[in-house]
Every structure is written in structure tokens, then in C-alpha cells.
């Protein structure tokens, strides 16, 4: 059921999507297939009760108080899938109050009780069977859903492992204890690119620790959050523990920041927005977790296994059409293997099938909206104007809408815009380097520090370079490194705190020291 829900909402944006007229003329058959896939999915989700369009406040589905809605579009064809409530500060304040009222009873439940209630992603076997009979999407979407569900399953178990401590006393009549207690109400602000996992990676540990949450999902992909919330209700999460407010991001965000009842803000998104949230949280001195932008280097050394390097580079660059914060933003290739690598890389990228996610064999979908396409293309044009060469792609895809060709650009210099900023699209800039020291210098020459990748057959070099890279995550001979059991987070301006793993629980806990005297 959660898998079926994800298939719809992974590919939706708001009304800013622009539909190009030449696409309407040239791709009517493809459009009809996309339309049929969307309509079939919507009807199935409705029959399962998962297509929710209202916000969730205090366990009740409610419209925006002024009746306003926002349209949710499929970027592959521009079609409206649904209209959801466009909420603002009034609804956000009510959601905060509901979460605040629900905090005390939820936090006082035993860890085992919270653990048993958490795995809502496995709920409703009837819907699961319906999904298993369908053939939508493919392994890419299934992997995203499995990834999102993994955090709920993991933190359901970790709920029972929030341990305190006993400190040896300095005086004989004293006993010293350390307790870990939930921080309180958490404001959860999530992006569109992984609309399930970015919620579960935050909500899982928050609920496990005993916190309650108010979720503000991206207005581009709100349907996933609403479907996940419906599942939470069905599985027994009490009213008010999990709330979802969709709509006006600035108004909802300000309400979360200004409320003294909200004790923590957790956010995944751009560095610019993260800085604003961090500044706003200072007024009430809230705890803050930020998972922000990246500029990931992927370093291919002369001694790398070419097949392994190609597979890993393809995975880390073109996953989700390049729209992840840990996608390789720069491919650094040592000069001894540069020509061989770029030739093989180009051949592999040319074979990537682009299209709608409902079609069989598609591995590259559309970008989120027209603004994203324009940004990607401007980076490409800037690189070309400064001497870079397009090896593959380099322009809008003939499918139109928000599709962009999988692209490789050679002879890129680190001062070019595409190497300085996160492209967030299917474009791989390739930079030539000579020495290990030069590669490390280029890789670290950025204000970001989320993820980095190394391909080498030298164990000594693996350790040397991994330790020298100023990044929170380093993949060695592997391009897909994210997992629920390992900490996810960055250095420098890529954020604060860690998500996932046992370390992710600490972000939602306060430490209390208790000194008991006259115990002798």
C-alpha cells in the first residue's frame, strides 16, 4: 500500500510546470500512455482510501479554513492529479496545539508500546496485495518506497534502545543518573525529491523517542505525506501525534519557528532556506537539524576498476535524474584513465532510457518543474561558454515538458558555475586531474560537505583520501551509500546533525542529569 502511494506522489509538482506546445503535437501516443497510467493509479489509490487531499490536524482531515487549494501536477505530462488544501498560519497553529496536547500521553507510553505502534508502513495487507498485482513504475520507485519504509522499521526497534547512564558518584551519599527524554513537539519540513523517505527519516526517530510532530511537506509533492499520515491513523498512531499541514510554506514555516511549543525544527532542503530556518529558530532557541545542499565529488583514480567506477558513477550521478543532495556533482578523473573513462561513460549514458515513470524500462524521468530545467540548462550554457565540451546530451529532451537529456560535459574547470553550485539535474561535469593531492584540493574547494565518492583499488589510498575529504559521507568503490543503519549528514554548510542510524535518535532527545543526595 505504501508502495502504491509512492508511485503517484514521486512524480508530482505544482502549477509552475510548463507544457511545451511542440510536445503536444509530437508525442500524443506517449502522452496518452502517461495519462492512462496516472488515471489508473489515482483510481486505485482512491479505492484504497490513500488519496487524501486535506490536512491532518488532531487526528481529523480538514480543509484549509479559507477553502483555498493548490493543484498537484505530474511533470511528465503537466496533468492535474489532485487539488490539496492550501493552509497557512491558522491551521499550522492548530496543528501545533494538537501536537502539544498529544505530547504528554505519547511520551509517557512505554518504549515497547511506541515500538509496536510505529511500523505503519506494513499496515493494510489488502492494499499490499492489490499493489503486488499491479505493474506500475519499476524497481526505481520500489527502491524509493523500500528506502522510506526502512526508517520506520529501524526506528521502531531503536525505540527500545534509548538508554540512560549511571555515573560513579564523587560522594558516598549521592547517586548520579543521566536520563534521555524526548525534546517535545517537532516541526518537520521536507523536500519533494524523496517525499516519503525524507519524512520517515525524521518522523521515525522523533516518534520513537516520544516526540510529536507537525509535518510541512513540499507543496510540489504533498500527496505522499498525506497518504503516509492516513496509514499512521490506520495503524493506531493516536490523534495529534502526527499532523500534516500543506500549503503556504512561508506562513506555515513562520508559525513553526515562532511557537514556543515547538522545541525542534528538522529540515531537508536548500542551504539558503536552511540558513533562514536556523536564524528564525534562534528567537526561541530551538534545537535544529539541517540536511542541506551538496557538491559531491566523485574521484576516479588511474588504478580504479573501470567497470566498478562506471557503475558507481552512473548510479551516484543519474539516480533520481540527478535530483538528490548526494548525487555526484563533479566527476574527477585522473589523466591516465580520463579518455578511456569518458568514452565508456558516454556510451553508458547514451543508453539511459528517458520517459515517464509508468513506462517499462525507464530509468530517467522528468525534472520537478520548468524552473529546474532552466537552471540546469543555464549551468550547461555557462560551462560551454567557458570552454567545456558537451560529450553527450546538453539540451532539453525531445519529449518536452520538463525532460532534459542525460548529459556529460568534458574539460570542465572547477571555477565554472556547474562545478561550484549544485546542478540538481542529469548533467555530469568531468574534471581532469593529475595527482592525488590535486584531486583532494579540488574536491574540498567548496562550502558544501555532504557526500563524496572514491574509486581506487588501493586500500592505502582509500584510507588516505577518505580521511582527507571534508565530507560527512564517503563512498569507496560504491555510488549508492544511503541506508537507514548509517548516519547521514554533512560538514560545513551542508548541515547540522545526523539522520538515520542509532545516532539519529540523539537529535530528538534531551539529556537530563539527576543528582540524588542523602542516600547514605
Distance CA 209, CA 203 (A): 10
Q: Which of 91, 158, 219, 291 is catalytic?
A: 291
- Residue 153's CB is within 10 A of a number of other CB atoms, namely 17
SS (H, E, C) 457-511: CCHHHHHHHHHHCCCCEEEECCCCCCCCCCCECCCHHHEECCECCHHHHHHHEEE
User: Comparing C-alpha atoms, which of 179, 153, 151, 154 is closest to residue 166?
Assistant: 179
* Strand runs labelled E in 274-373: 287-291, 296-300, 328-334
- Is 291 a catalytic site residue? yes
Phi, psi of 359 (to 5 degrees): -90, 145
296-300 and 451-455 strand pairing: parallel
According to DSSP, the residues that pair with 57 across neighbouring strands are: 60
**DSSP three-state, residue 242:** strand
CB 241 within 8 A of CB 212: yes
Distance CA 489, CA 288 (A): 13
- 252 membership: H or E segment, kind and range: helix 249-258
CA dihedral 484, 11, 30, 146 (to 10 degrees): 20
- 9 membership: H or E segment, kind and range: helix 2-9
With 0-12 / 13-18 / 19 or more C-beta atoms within 10 angstroms meaning exposed / middle / buried, residue 443 is: buried
DSSP string, 417-467: HHHHS---SSEEEEEEE-SHHHHHHHHH-SS--SEEEEE-S-HHHHHHHHH
According to DSSP, the residues that pair with 300 across neighbouring strands are: 333, 455
Distance CA 518, CA 520 (A): 6
Which amino acids are annotated catalytic?
291
Amino acid at each position: 500500500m505504501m508502495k502504491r502511494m509512492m508511485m503517484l506522489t514521486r512524480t508530482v509538482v505544482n502549477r509552475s510546470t510548463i507544457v511545451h506546445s511542440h510536445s503536444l503535437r509530437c508525442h500524443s501516443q506517449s502522452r496518452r500512455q502517461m495519462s492512462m497510467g496516472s488515471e489508473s493509479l489515482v483510481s486505485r489509490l482512491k479505492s484504497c482510501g490513500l488519496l487524501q487531499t486535506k490536512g491532518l490536524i488532531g487526528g481529523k482531515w480538514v480543509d484549509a479554513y479559507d477553502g483555498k487549494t493548490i493543484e498537484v501536477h505530474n511533470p511528465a505530462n503537466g496533468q492535474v492529479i489532485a487539488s490539496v488544501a492550501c493552509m497557512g498560519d491558522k491551521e499550522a497553529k492548530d496543528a501545533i496545539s494538537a501536537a502539544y496536547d498529544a505530547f504528554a500521553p505519547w511520551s509517557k507510553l512505554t518504549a515497547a508500546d511506541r515500538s509496536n505502534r510505529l511500523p505503519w508502513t506494513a499496515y493494510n495487507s489488502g492494499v499490499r496485495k492489490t499493489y503486488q498485482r499491479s505493474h506500475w513504475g519499476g524497481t526505481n520507485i520500489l527502491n524509493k518506497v523500500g528506502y522510506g519504509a526502512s526508517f520506520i522499521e529501524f526506528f521502531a526497534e531503536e525505540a527500545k534502545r534509548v538508554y540512560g547512564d549511571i555515573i560513579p558518584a564523587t560522594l558516598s551519599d549521592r547517586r548520579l543518573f543521566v536520563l534521555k527524554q524526548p525534546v517535545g513537539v517537532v516541526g518537520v519540513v521536507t523536500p519533494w525529491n524523496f517525499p516519503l523517505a525524507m519524512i520517515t527519516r525524521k518522523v521515525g526517530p522523533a516518534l520513537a523517542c516520544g516526540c510529536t510532530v507537525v509535518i510541512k511537506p513540499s507543496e510540489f509533492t504533498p500527496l505522499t505525506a498525506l497518504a503516509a499520515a492516513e496509514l499512521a491513523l490506520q495503524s493506531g498512531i493516536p490523534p495529534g501525534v502526527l499532523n500534516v499541514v500543506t500549503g503556504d510554506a512561508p506562513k506555515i514555516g513562520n508559525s513553526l519557528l515562532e511557537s514556543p511549543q515547538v522545541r525542534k525544527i528538522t529540515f531537508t532542503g536548500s542551504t539558503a532556506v536552511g540558513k533562514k530556518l536556523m536564524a528564525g529558530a534562534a528567537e526561541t532557541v530551538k534545537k535544529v537539524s539541517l540536511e542541506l545542499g551538496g557538491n559531491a565529488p566523485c574521484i576516479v583514480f588511474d588504478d580504479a576498476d573501470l567497470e566498478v567506477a562506471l557503475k558507481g558513477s552512473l548510479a551516484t550521478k543519474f539516480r533520481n535524474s540527478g535530483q538528490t543532495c548526494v548525487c555526484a556533482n563533479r566527476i574527477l578523473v585522473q589523466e591516465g584513465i580520463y579518455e578511456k573513462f569518458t568514452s565508456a561513460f558516454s556510451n553508458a549514458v547514451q543508453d539511459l532510457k528517458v520517459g515517464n515513470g509508468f513506462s517499462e524500462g525507464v530509468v530517467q524521468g522528468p525534472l520537478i518543474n520548468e524552473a529546474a530545467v532552466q537552471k540546469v540548462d543555464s549551468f550547461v550554457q555557462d560551462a560551454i561558454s567557458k570552454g567545456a565540451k558537451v560529450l553527450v546530451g546538453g539540451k532539453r529532451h525531445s519529449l518536452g515538458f520538463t525532460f532534459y537529456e542525460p548529459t556529460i560535459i568534458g574539460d570542465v574547470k572547477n571555477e565554472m558555475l556547474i562545478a561550484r553550485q549544485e546542478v540538481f539535474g542529469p548533467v555530469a561535469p568531468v574534471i581532469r586531474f593529475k595527482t592525488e593531492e590535486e584531486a583532494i584540493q579540488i574536491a574540498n574547494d567548496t562550502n558544501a560537505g555532504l557526500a563524496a565518492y572514491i574509486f581506487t583499488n588501493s586500500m592505502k589510498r582509500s584510507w588516505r583520501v577518505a580521511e582527507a575529504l571534508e565530507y560527512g559521507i564517503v563512498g569507496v568503490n560504491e555510488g549508492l551509500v544511503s541506508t537507514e543503519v548509517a548516519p547521514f549528514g554533512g560538514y560545513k554548510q551542508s548541515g547540522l546533525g545526523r539522520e538515520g542510524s542509532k545516532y539519529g535518535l540523539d537529535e530528538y532527545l534531551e539529556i537530563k542529569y539527576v543528582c540524588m543526595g542523602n542516600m547514605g
